[in-house]
Amino acid sequence: MQVTMTVNGEEVTREIEGRLLLVHFLRDHLQLTGTHWGCDTSNCGTCVVWLDGEPVKSCTVLAAMAGGHEVRTVEGLEQHGELDPIQRGFMECHGLQCGFCTPGMMMTARALLDRNPDPSDEEIREAISGQICRCTGYATIVRSIRWAAAEQAGTRTTAEEPERTVAPADAPGPAVASASGSAS
């Protein structure tokens, strides 16, 4: 069958099998490999894209069902050569390690900030709770999304430091973390 949809603002038409999943349509037919596939059961969320502005798991949508609709993927987050604040937030706050869940996380996060520009930590955790990250432990993802919220609200302060790892308050100073005699 033939399917036509708008992907990241461009209309595309392809001949496909009726059973083809949207995730495989994007990856194998359009070479948009930023959207990933990670499970058989719609649990992991590495495949999240937008369908008409709403995040969906593209492993659970047939490409045929997206016909006539608008799809946005991670490749469409960057606009006019400018990274989305979400993308910058993930880099600034170490919101990713292996990068596999990252596109899906960022699509969900962008959707969250569009309807709730100043979410609480709890609201962020709830929003991404249908997705799994095996690397980060989520705290840095929460910080990344808050960074983006502050950035786009213009309330981010440059003095802010995302890491919170602390040393003993009574530590002898002024030692630095790399004071191990590495230079010879």
Lay out the sheet containing 10-15: strands in order across: 10-15, 2-7, 70-72, 48-51, 54-57
| Smallest distance from other proteins to CB 153, Å | 20
Q: Facing residues of 87 across strands?
A: none
Residue 176 within binding range of other proteins, rule CB under 8 A: yes
Residue 133 within binding range of other proteins, rule CB under 8 A: yes
Task: Count Cβ atoms below 10 Å from residue 62 Cβ, excluding itself.
Answer: 17
Q: Which stretch binds other proteins (CB under 8 A): 62-70, 110-118, 119-127, 148-156?
A: 119-127
According to CB under 8 A, which residues from 22 to 61 bind other proteins? 24, 27-28, 31-41, 43-44, 46
Which DSSP string do the residues of 93-121 spell out, in sequence order? TT--SS-SSHHHHHHHHHHHHHH-SS--H
Q: Binding residue for other proteins (CB under 8 A) from 7, 71, 96, 112?
A: 96
| Smallest distance from other proteins to CB 101, Å | 5
Are the beta carbons of 7 and 26 closer than 8 angstroms?
yes
CB nearer to other proteins: give 68 or 82.
Answer: 82
According to CB under 8 A, which residues from 143 to 162 bind other proteins? 161-162
Residue 18 within binding range of other proteins, rule CB under 8 A: no
- Secondary structure class of 174 (helix, strand, coil): coil
CB nearer to other proteins: give 5 or 85.
Answer: 85
CB nearer to other proteins: give 70 or 138.
Answer: 138
Backbone angles phi, psi at 119, to 5 degrees: -75, 150
Are the beta carbons of 95 and 136 closer than 8 angstroms?
yes
| Smallest distance from other proteins to CB 154, Å | 21
